[in-house]
Structure 1
Amino acid sequence: MQAPVSTDSSKPIPIAAVIAVLIRGDEILLVSRKNPPDVGLWGFPGGKMEFGESLEQAAVRELFEETGVRGVAQQVLTALNAYDRDAQGELRQHFILVAVQCAWQSGEPVAADDAEEAGWFRLQTLTDGTLALSQDVLEVAQMALQAQIIN
Structure 2
Amino acid sequence: MDSDEGQRTRCVGGIAHDARGRLLLVRRGKPPGQGLWSVPGGRVEQGESDERAVERELWEETGLRVIVGHLIGSVVRPAPVGVFDIHDYSCQPIGGTLRPGDDAAEAAWVDAETFATLERRNLLTEGLADALTSWNVLPR
Q: For this structure pair, what is the TM-score category when the shorter chain's length is used for normalisation?
A: 0.7 to 0.9
RMSD (Å) for aligned C-alpha atoms: 2.2
TM-score, reference length from structure 2: 0.82
Larger C-alpha radius of gyration, 1 or 2? Answer: 1
- Between Structure 1 and Structure 2, how many residues are aligned? 131
Aligned-residue sequence identity (percent) comes to 29
Following TM superposition, the consecutive aligned residue runs of length 4 or more in structure 1 with deviations greater than 6 angstroms are none
Residues 101-123 of structure 1, C-alpha deviation per residue, up to 9 Å, x if partnerless?
10111233211111111111113
What pairs with 1:10-21 in structure 2 (closer than 5 Å)? 13-21=7-15
CA distance in 2, matches of 1:124, 1:140: 18
Could you tell me which residue of structure 1 aligns to residue 98 of structure 2? 109
Of residues 89, 92, 99 in structure 2, which corresponds to 1:100? 89
Where does the alignment leave 5 or more consecutive residues of structure 2 unmatched?
none
Structure 1 residues 55 and 141: alpha-carbon distance in aligned structure 2, compared to 1, 3 A threshold:
same
Instruction: Give the CA deviation at 1:12.
Output: 5.9
What pairs with 1:25-64 in structure 2 (closer than 5 Å)? 25-64=20-59
Could you tell me which residue of structure 2 aligns to residue 134 of structure 1? 125
On the 8 A contact 1:21/1:144 being kept in 2, the answer is no
CA distance in 1, matches of 2:90, 2:124: 18
Structure 1 residues 76 and 61: alpha-carbon distance in aligned structure 2, compared to 1, 3 A threshold:
same
Where does the alignment leave 5 or more consecutive residues of structure 1 unmatched?
1-9, 85-90, 147-151
Could you tell me which residue of structure 1 aligns to residue 72 of structure 2? 77
Structure 1 residues 35 and 71: alpha-carbon distance in aligned structure 2, compared to 1, 3 A threshold:
same
CA distance in 2, matches of 1:115, 1:145: 21
Could you tell me which residue of structure 2 aligns to residue 88 of structure 1? none
